[in-house]
Structure 1
Amino acid sequence: MSKINATSEPFPDLPSVCVQLLEGKAKKGMTFAQIGEVINHDEAWVAALFYGQAKATQEELLKLSELLDIPEHSLLSEMGENWFPRRGLGPVPPQDPLLYRLFEGVLVYGTPIKALIHEKFGDGIMSMIDCKVSVDKKPDPKGDRVVLTFDGKFLPYLRW
Structure 2
Amino acid sequence: MNRLDVTEAIFAIKKEKELSWEGIAEAIGMSTVWTTSACLGMNSCPSGAATKLVEFLGLPEEATRVLMEYPTKEWDKSVPQDPLIYRLYEVVGVYGDTLKEVIQEKFGDGIMSAIDFSMEVDKEENPKGDRVILTLNGKFLPYKAW
Task: Tell whether the structures are fold-level matches, with TM greater than 0.5.
Answer: yes
Q: Does 1:89 align with 2:78?
A: no
Matched, 1:100 2:112: no
Q: Distance in 1 between matches of 2:49 and 2:98?
A: 39
Q: Which has the higher contact order (CA 8 A, sep 6+)?
A: 2
1:156 CA displacement: 0.5
Corresponding position of 1:119: 105
Letter in 1 for 2:60: P
What's 2:56 paired with? 67
Q: Distance in 2 between matches of 1:47 and 1:119?
A: 33
Shift of 1:77: 4.6
Q: Which amino acid aligns with 2:130?
A: D
What is the Cα deviation at residue 21 of structure 1?
Answer: 1.1
Shift of 1:140: 1.2
Output the CA distance in 1 between the equivalents of 2:100 and 2:65.
41
Give the equivalent residue in structure 2 for 1:43.
Answer: 32
Summarize deviations over 1:36-95 as a string: whole Å, max 9, x none.
22222110000101111011133322212221122213x135334xx3223233232112
1:27 and 2:36 correspond: no
Q: TM-score if structure 1 supplies the norm length?
A: 0.82
* AA of the residue aligned to 2:90: E
Q: Is 1:79 aligned to residue 67 of structure 2?
A: yes
Q: Could you tell me whether the CA contact under 8 Å between 1:61 and 1:72 is conserved in 2?
A: no
- Alpha-carbon distance between aligned partners in 2 of 1:56 and 1:78, rounded to the nearest angstrom: 9
Matched to 2:56, the amino acid is L
Show the counterpart of 1:54: 43
Letter in 2 for 1:65: V
The code of the aligned residue for 1:72 comes to E
Q: 1:139, 1:92 → 2: CA distance? A: 33
The percent identity for this pair of structures is 41
Distance in 1 between the 2:75 and 2:129 partners? Answer: 28
Amino acid across the alignment from 2:97? T
Query: Which runs of 5 or more structure 1 residues have no equivalent in the other structure?
Result: 1-13
List alignment gaps of at least 5 residues for structure 2.
Answer: none
